[in-house]
Amino acid sequence: MMPQRPDPATELLMMKPQYINALFYIEGSTLDNMALSRAKLEKSAAVIILSNKFTYDAENEDTKTILEAMIIKKYVNSERKKNLDYENRMKKTSTWMTYFSNIQVE
């Protein structure tokens, strides 16, 4: 996820047969919840964070990469907890519906 389109070299890499159906490039920022939601990170098997290895300020780049990882981890944990809470509520509702449907009215 980057605020701009990938460079031509990255686009060529993403077009390789082994990556074409498994790799998705999302334009956006990790600081934007809408972009994180669009990426459906909570359903992904993995997230790869790329950093600029040619930067002149390696410490700043590392800090940015670690911050992005922490934001993504927090977002994914939050979304998975929401989904789990929803599933648990649905199971309880289903259990009660089954219980009431099995009660015979006399």
pLDDT band (50, 70, 90) for residue 105:
low
pLDDT at 56 over 90: yes
Residue 36 lies in a domain: yes
Residue 89 lies in a domain: yes
pLDDT at 93 over 80: no
Residue 49 lies in a domain: yes
How many domains, in total, are found in the chain? 1
pLDDT band (50, 70, 90) for residue 71:
very high
Residue 1 lies in a domain: no
Helix, strand or coil for residue 75?
A: helix
Helix, strand or coil for residue 53?
A: coil
Contact 76, 41 (CB under 8 A): yes
Residue 71 lies in a domain: yes
Domain ranges, residue 61: 8-102
Residue 3 lies in a domain: no
In angstroms, the CA 36 to CA 79 distance is 10
| The predicted structure's pLDDT at residue 26 | 82
